[in-house]
A and B are shown apart, each in its own frame.
Chain A
């Protein structure tokens, strides 16, 4: 993140936190004042921030030893990848009242993200699947959620500032113009904006100081967009957490697709109606503004470069559940996206499609 955006980030936060709950605002004040006391070079203030974050985390968790601070390795990297820390943080997050405004861990996430330290922000994003997952599933249960909301709003505000609120668009290619990959009879037109066919990947962002219930899906969706943009740096465990929550969100087991071998077309239970199970607990509304970033993340988990078996298994289960849900909702966007992902993942797992074309033909004969 650039220096500019981190400054505007600072100016942006007070509204966010004040409207959320006062306790978070206090802690922000503390961190910012810490900034002012140590006007050091960026690198040392960065390690200072990291140490501060670890110190305050160690007061929340039981097993983070302060000895961590003296270790040679990058402490932020350690925070991101240490399985003990992850499992402890995850289990703390999953406690029933963890989303409250005065929750220590939520406050830690909020402060850590606000430190504007890219490495530390990654640590916060690593737990976004659990935070967003629990948050959306708990909305209907009327549990206190101000803590989760503060973290999500901080991420949303970060994204809003770094994009200056602008929509993310792509120019849908037009084959009648030549490109680096193909020729065309029509000459390359020079910059003619009128000819661009713009498509929106992510609409423009309005600043939000609180979570309005109708904007909830969008705010979480934008946070997931940021997660997606950093997903190649995320440990596998975080992605698996995400896939697990997709299943919970869908409220669908996705069994009915399992026995089907030759295609993933519309499929029914194999003559057993009881097998169909809708799990209402944790099931949420899945509008496209949420499903679109979800599909992008799932696409990465299923077909991306990390060929981790557990992840792929978990991602395809999530995809089956979401496909099944989209069939039930008769939601064309979601049907088309999840259906193609499922088909692609099946093809990727099919050994027939994994022939190595670069293999040198084996022969006992050497020809010169």
Chain B
């Protein structure tokens, strides 16, 4: 035996004499090869192996296997993989494995109480022997790898794991390998095995062996362990081979991952928590894998958490805010995103290079909310100011946002002159965008919408037609716009045809919205019966959908936005129905619908407005006034109630004309295209005797009514 007193270090008193003696602790491989260059270089004959082996054995009192192991390593190091393989194949690993296992088990058992120099049971193999043999197997696997025999290599390498796993079912206790290379060799085998299976093309084996490495504590250093976890996550994410955890590993009930992507995300989250605790250093690759995986499953808030947790210095400020804004936008939290983007454009960043993507995203988000119109304009202007030929290709996009924001700003503007200016700016920008981004149907959509809102119906119609062509039916948006433009031209029948056509192509939520639009068109055509029928269909469809969702309560949070949209539509349907019944004079039905609407949403100004209309229809002026004022106390700028209040006041006699007029003027400041307000102003003027003024007001009311779309788009 090479070292019968395992644990003791070998000491050779004599310094190395010559390569021939071999009785040295370390000997030079180059020395050996100098002796053997030539005939030994590429081909190794059996008898030469035997000769060298016996030399080694004699000189070091090595046993047969140990000598082969050493010799094989020499060959391997010199790049003679064939020869190394030949040498290693002479070692009967299967036969030796039980002995090796025993040696390791005993070593662990006796490790603590035994003091230095104590005698080991003579039958046991020494730890040095074990590690030599393990190294031999490892090198055999690597030789096979070099010869591209990956599957064989993996099998060999797997033997190392088999041995260690049966010897140490609970993993490696700390410090086993303080004086031998066993642990080091084993760790190399752990990392090599999955790579070999991967190269052999057997991905499920590779995944299984990654798991073997990870589920027991093998005392790998944290960085290496993290590396293995990262590799497993990556193979799970990208291999597209579904390899669910075997049942014996599913010890954690529902918390144990059920699919590749779950397992990958689990591993990546574990890695991120190690990064956060400083156990391993920051690794951009982990973050990118996590970003990809969470994007695929749509968990953007979770992603945002991890971007926020990144230590300072990993991202610069603007970059981090931008990434966070992307996450929040994708998660539907536009306000949060916008707040971050304002920081990027704020004064703290004024010294840094302007971050154009942030400004673009900011402009886009602002264009979706009329309340942020002016911020949107300033975001867009920033990009335009920076525009050189570096970002020419974003100009079209910027003009689009600029146009939309200008249009929105015009709608909330209280000054006439400013409104005219903003309207002009809006159309200019949108037309500019249409020239720059011919491929984008959204531009055409925004242009058509703006033209419709500015009552340029002819142009709006053309835009809407082009838009629907470009969208090729991908979205019902285009058709809805077209239907509204046509309805504004008072061609209700044509509008209904467009809606019917869109209904055929639409998905569920879109269908609900289109049904309501259809009903409104039917009301406009004075077909209350058909409209009521349409609402009935709409309400029953919503109810069916709700029953359907109730069957999967665990997925309820997924449908949150859908449920909200359905609820809003249902509320609107009840309010619309109340309106119809009021109009045709069936008070009781109207009352039922109003109550339904109020039951759903007590604080909806429209519910109170409809209540007021019902009272008013029954000539209960005081009750009507109370209802309208409740609507206005919920939303002071709710134009229909302002106009309706004025109407009631007008009925109460000449003394309240001035109050009514101020209500109407207020309504027109908020919505200059409100033809009912103009009409009532005309009525007041007429009753007061200023006929010329009245005629002007009536003229305005008439023209506006002739170009009013059937449903407000905002």
- List residues of chain A with CB within 8 A of the CB of B296: 201, 292, 295-296, 337
Cα–Cα, bound, A109→B298 (Å): 34
Q: Across the interface, do B28 and A340 meet the contact criterion of CB distance under 8 Å?
A: no
Cα–Cα, bound, A368→B56 (Å): 12
Q: Across the interface, do B254 and A192 meet the contact criterion of CB distance under 8 Å?
A: yes
Within 8 Å of chain B (Cβ to Cβ): is A30? Answer: no
Q: Across the interface, do B259 and A340 meet the contact criterion of CB distance under 8 Å?
A: no
Cross-interface CB contact of B253 among A189, A280, A300, cutoff 8 Å: A189
- Tell me the residues in window 185-244 of chain B with beta carbons closer than 8 Å to chain A beta carbons: 188-189, 191-192, 195, 198, 201, 203, 211, 214-215, 224, 227, 229, 234-235, 237-242
| Segment among B388-396, B483-491, B626-634 that sits at the interface with chain A | B388-396
Cα–Cα, bound, A273→B504 (Å): 43
When C-beta atoms are compared, the residue in chain B nearest to A281 turns out to be B439
Q: Mark B280-300, 1 if CB is under 8 A from A, else 0.
A: 000011011101100111111
Q: Across the interface, do A280 and B439 meet the contact criterion of CB distance under 8 Å?
A: yes
When C-beta atoms are compared, the residue in chain B nearest to A178 turns out to be B252
Q: Mark B168-199, 1 if CB is under 8 A from A, else 0.
A: 00000000000000000000110110010010
Cross-interface CB contact of B25 among A180, A201, A367, cutoff 8 Å: A367
Q: Across the interface, do B356 and A266 meet the contact criterion of CB distance under 8 Å?
A: yes
| Segment among A12-20, A21-29, A328-336 that sits at the interface with chain B | A328-336
Q: Across the interface, do B240 and A232 meet the contact criterion of CB distance under 8 Å?
A: yes
When C-beta atoms are compared, the residue in chain B nearest to A336 turns out to be B295
- Tell me the residues in window 308-340 of chain B with beta carbons closer than 8 Å to chain A beta carbons: 319, 326-327, 329-330
Q: Across the interface, do A198 and B505 meet the contact criterion of CB distance under 8 Å?
A: no
Q: Across the interface, do B266 and A283 meet the contact criterion of CB distance under 8 Å?
A: no
- Tell me the residues in window 307-341 of chain A with beta carbons closer than 8 Å to chain B beta carbons: 327-328, 330, 332-333, 335-337, 339-341
Within 8 Å of chain A (Cβ to Cβ): is B495? Answer: no
Also in contact, A343 and B288, with CB within 8 A (given A304-B238, A368-B128): yes
When C-beta atoms are compared, the residue in chain B nearest to A299 turns out to be B238
Q: Mark B14-27, 1 if CB is under 8 A from A, else 0.
A: 00000000000111
Cα–Cα, bound, A256→B360 (Å): 18
Also in contact, A333 and B474, with CB within 8 A (given A181-B267, A303-B234, A357-B191): no
Q: Mark A140-180, 1 if CB is under 8 A from B, else 0.
A: 10000000000000000000000000010111111101111
| Chain B nearest Cβ from A13, distance in angstroms | 22
- List residues of chain A with CB within 8 A of the CB of B29: 363-366
- List residues of chain A with CB within 8 A of the CB of B470: 140
Q: Mark B532-568, 1 if CB is under 8 A from A, else 0.
A: 0000000000000000000000110110000000000
When C-beta atoms are compared, the residue in chain B nearest to A342 turns out to be B288
Cross-interface CB contact of A272 among B128, B284, B356, B389, cutoff 8 Å: B389
- List residues of chain B with CB within 8 A of the CB of A178: 252, 255
Within 8 Å of chain A (Cβ to Cβ): is B456? Answer: no
Q: Across the interface, do A358 and B397 meet the contact criterion of CB distance under 8 Å?
A: no
Residues on A lying within 8 angstroms of B by beta carbon are: 139-140, 167, 169-175, 177-182, 188-194, 196, 198-201, 203, 206, 212-218, 228-229, 231-232, 251, 256, 265-266, 268-269, 271-273, 276, 278, 280, 283, 285, 287, 292, 295-296, 299-300, 302-305, 327-328, 330, 332-333, 335-337, 339-341, 343-344, 347, 353, 357-358, 360, 362-368
Q: Which 9 residue pairs spanning A and B have beta carbons closest together? A: A213-B473, A268-B390, A340-B291, A273-B392, A173-B266, A337-B295, A358-B192, A332-B330, A273-B389
